[in-house]
Every structure is written in structure tokens, then in C-alpha cells.
Copies of this chain bind each other. A is one copy, B any other.
Amino acid sequence: MGSTSQPRRGNTRQRIQDVALELFAQQGYEKTSLREIAEQLDVTKAALYYHFKTKEDILVSIFEDLNKPVEDLIIWGETQPRTLETKTEILRRYSEALARSAPLFRFMQENQATVRDLSIGETIKHRVLGLVDLIKDPDAPLTDQVRCFSALFTMHAGMLALKDVDGDPEEKRKAALEVAVELVTRAHDPDAPR
């Protein structure tokens, strides 16, 4: 929550995560050193090692905390019927999850090469594919599968590329969601009137 006025006790772990995520998102994972993180927190590097086993562990812990909503979403989705309504709802919830953990997702988007080799790499891949599986039909033609992927990436892009476009972030998110829903709708019911 509060980013500047932290009471000095008991929440160092959280503060490390906050600062680390901020720096990771700003500069990239490899270009952010533990020294920087420690300095910004006014602790020593060794203190980081009291709370986390490795540098990677810091990132993993952040990911695990912020990723839970998406995980839950997939679990929920798997119990629902594959109707268009369900798919739309999934997109809606996913869009909100993205918005809530924007820095993390921005980081993941911009550091794919890094993240791929880390232990979360597989998890992430699984998650994206799991999400796609919920909104696409396995036997759909290739074009429809592309539409589903595209829907997801559209929402990701909604947080990134659209930085350079004017307008309120929340509105941009909604516009991206709208386009995503449209894409999935077409994929879901190819015979719908165009």
C-alpha cells in the first residue's frame, strides 16, 4: 500500500518485494542488482539473504503472490461450461487482474527472455496456455486459434504499447477488453453475421 512511509518494523520482506518489483519493471531483471535494491531500502545486501534464498527467489515470491488471482481464475474457468458468457467473463476478470498487478505483467512482458529460463518460466507458459485453452475450442480452425491468442495479447498490449496513446488508462483497458471480447466472440461462433 503506502509506498513511502513504511513503519520500520516487521515488514521488510514485503518492502523488499515492492522495491524489487519496481526496479525489475523499470530496468529489467538482470540490470537490477541486489546492491541497488538494498541501497534503496537502506539495508545491506546480506539482509536480503535473510529473507530470500536467492535473487531469483525474490522474483519468484513476487510472482507467486500476484499470480494467485489468475491461477484461481483458471481453476474457476475449468468448472464452468464453455459458453460465450463464460469466456467473456474470463476475459473480463483477466483484464482486471492485469490492471491490478500491472507492474508485474509489464515486467513479464518486457523480460520474456529472462523469465523463460527462470523457474517460473514453465509456470507462466502453462498459465497462458491454460487461459487460452479456456477460450478457444481445441478443434477450431487455425484462424480462430490465432484470434484467441490475439485476444490475450491485445489485453497485454493494452497495458504497454498504449502508453504512447493519449487517454485515460482505465478507458484504454476497457477498449482493449472490448476488442478482445470481439475476437473471442468471432472465434466462438464463426457463423455469426459480420
Contact = CB atoms under 8 A, between A and B. Distances in A.
16 contacts: A27-B117, A28-B113, A28-B117, A29-B113, A30-B31, A107-B113, A142-B167, A142-B171, A143-B179, A145-B175, A146-B162, A146-B176, A147-B179, A149-B161, A149-B165, A179-B183
Nearest to A31: B30
Nearest to A160: B112
B146 A153 contact: no
A128 interface: yes
A191 interface: no
Contacts of A162: 146, 149
Interface in A125-181: 125, 128-129, 142-143, 145-147, 149-150, 153-154, 156-158, 161-162, 164-165, 167, 171-172, 175-176, 178-179
A194 interface: yes
A193 interface: yes
A186 B179 CA distance: 11
